[in-house]
Amino acid sequence: HGIRQFRTGWADGPAYITQCPIQPGQNYIYNFTISGQRGTLLWHAHILWLRATVHGALVILPRLGVPYPFPKPYKEVVIVLGKSSNYIIQLSPASMVGDDDFHYSEWWKSDVEAVIDEAQKSGFAPNVSDAHTINGYTGFDPNCPSQGGFTLNVESTKTYMLRIINAGLNEQFFFIIARHNLTIVEVDACYVKPFKTDTVLIAPGQTTTALLTADHFSGSYAMTASTFMDTPISVDATTATATLRYPRTAANSRTIFTTIPPINATPIANKYRDSLKSLNSGKYPARVPLTVDHSLVFTVGLGINLCPTCKGTNGIRLVGTVNNVTFVMPTTSLLQAHYFNEKGVFTDDFPGHPPHVFNYTGPGPRNLQTTAGTKVYRLPFNATVQVVLQDTGILLPEDHPIHLHGFNVFGVGRGMGNFNQDKDPKRFNLVDPVERNTIGVPSGGWVAIRFRADNPGTFSHLPLVFSIRIQFIANATGLVHALPFGSAHDMGAKDGIPGGQWEVS
């Protein structure tokens, strides 16, 4: 998640987008080269909801002899928020990552595949998780007791680098350490201008690297991961907790807590988002496109389609939609179909703008049905692209974390209400906008991103909740020359069973 797969698009991972899924009992080797990237990322399964438990940290350290653009920390710690399991892959000549690993996630009492299967059968939205976790532990939750909890032992005056990952399916988190400030230095493996904060906002699929200075001499301090949702919908509102502990702390010392933000603390979220700026130094420039070849507007939201077999909704189903198109999962990977010019797998008529203009953040239209299809939008190689992602009030507004495989994007603008083509671009930040691979569309608002289509392949934008997808094919005419020829091992055989083995070394 976040690796730029240059000439190895087969290894990008999304099932039926770049490759067929790994079948039960089968193995697969991912063979790719990381070029020009360093920082905190993650890996996860990419079919249905398997990423709820199949995920972990992916830490890329700088080359030997290349320093961080900030003071060297005493120790590095990975923190994963979300589910219940964690496996760290570290790519570097030398190790600094400690044994204390941070991991945010969610806790499910049910089989997550059964949860999404039941949602498909009923037509309703899937159930929410039962609790949240920090490195696999829920912490001090009386309704969901765990055996112990995660403790980060620190030494006074030392500075620690926290590699924070939201591996959850649905929820954005506020992360706080009681009576401590954090200095944010990187997001999604891209350096940012350092700034201090007492609250981190992190959406599903996002990573944040922060410096923590242990500026107390003793005591136990609570670390909390609480939900942010500024729309009145059903979410898992539990708070995961862990402990920051100093060595001189008495055994019977009480843990010091802090007040967590309200679940709908939009001002806190906006203040954090507004503070994120690319480092934009001579060594780490912000190469934001200043001109645009393709200017697109994608409305993102929900719809209702007919579903005669759905049990719980009187023959209708809740669906995700982008520009009124609901993605239909193919049975052949899109990259394979494009590479071999196979017909009938997808069409290239995905609309670059909403088919009907209306008050997107106002009352929804009467007709809530969407068009279903496997559609892509073609981009010439090296084209500069601007996409305005507009939330809609159809059914209800909602935050949408959007991830673009194979690329980083620059978040050049954000606002509430409907995007205004005449006024809003004048306020775009084209100097040092934040660069990342996953960006949030605000509830009842919009976000504008820019990127250069310099990575041939098929890649997708997708919020992580309702499997809303926008497929891009970059370099439609030259892809066969840019990608090495794929064997059944590289791309997955046509029967959907990849060859080879899946190994991590």
Tens digit of each residue's pLDDT (9 = 90 or more) over 112-128: 888 888 888 888 888 88
* pLDDT value for 449: 98
Q: Mind listing the pLDDT tens digit for each residue in 394-410? A: 888 888 889 988 899 99
Pick from 344-348, 433-437, 467-471: least confident: 467-471
- What confidence tens digit (pLDDT) does each residue in 50-91 have? 888 888 899 999 999 999 999 999 999 999 987 544 445 566
* pLDDT at residue number 92: 53
Question: Is residue 280 a contact partner of residue 432, using CB atoms and an 8 Å limit?
Answer: yes
Q: What is the DSSP string of 362-388?
A: SSPPS----EEE-BEEEE-TT-EEEEE
Task: Answer whether residue 500 shows pLDDT above 80.
Answer: no
The predicted model gives 3-26 an average pLDDT of 85
pLDDT at 141: 58
**Looking at the predicted structure, is the pLDDT value of residue 425 above 80?**
yes
pLDDT at 478: 40
**Predicted pLDDT at 497:** 36
What's the whole-number mean pLDDT along residues 144-172? 88
pLDDT score, position 168: 87
Q: Parallel, antiparallel, or unpaired for β 220-228 and 255-256?
A: parallel
In the chain, the percentage of residues whose pLDDT exceeds 70 is 84
| CATH number for region 294-491 | 2.60.40.420
Question: Under a CB-based contact definition with an 8 Å cutoff, are residues 460 and 407 in contact?
Answer: no
**Per-residue model confidence (pLDDT) at position 502:** 31
End-to-end CA distance of the chain: 18
Sheet with 89-91, strands from edge to edge, namely 39-44, 55-60, 89-91
pLDDT of 104 above 90: no
Residue 170 has pLDDT above 80, yes or no: yes
Name the architecture of domain 37-275: Sandwich (2.60)
More confident residue, 26 or 412: 412
Domain with CATH 2.60.40.420 in the chain: 37-275, 294-491
The Cα angle at residue 317 between residues 405 and 376, in degrees rounded to 5? 30
Pick from 270, 449, 333: which is nearest to 10 by CA? 333
pLDDT at 218 over 50: yes
Minimal CA–CA distance to 18: which of 438, 477, 492?
Answer: 492
Of 83-97, 287-301, 444-458, give the lowest mean pLDDT range: 83-97
Q: Mean per-residue pLDDT for 151-160?
A: 97
Residue 389 to residue 384: CA distance in whole angstroms: 16
Greatest alpha-carbon pair distance for the chain in Å reads 70
Of 350, 346, 349, 348, the residue nearest 322 (C-alpha): 350
What does the pLDDT read at residue 136? 86
Mean pLDDT of the chain: 85
Angle, alpha carbons 386-388-389 (nearest 5°): 135
What is the pLDDT confidence band of residue 142, given thresholds at 50, 70 and 90?
A: low
pLDDT for residue 363 = 83
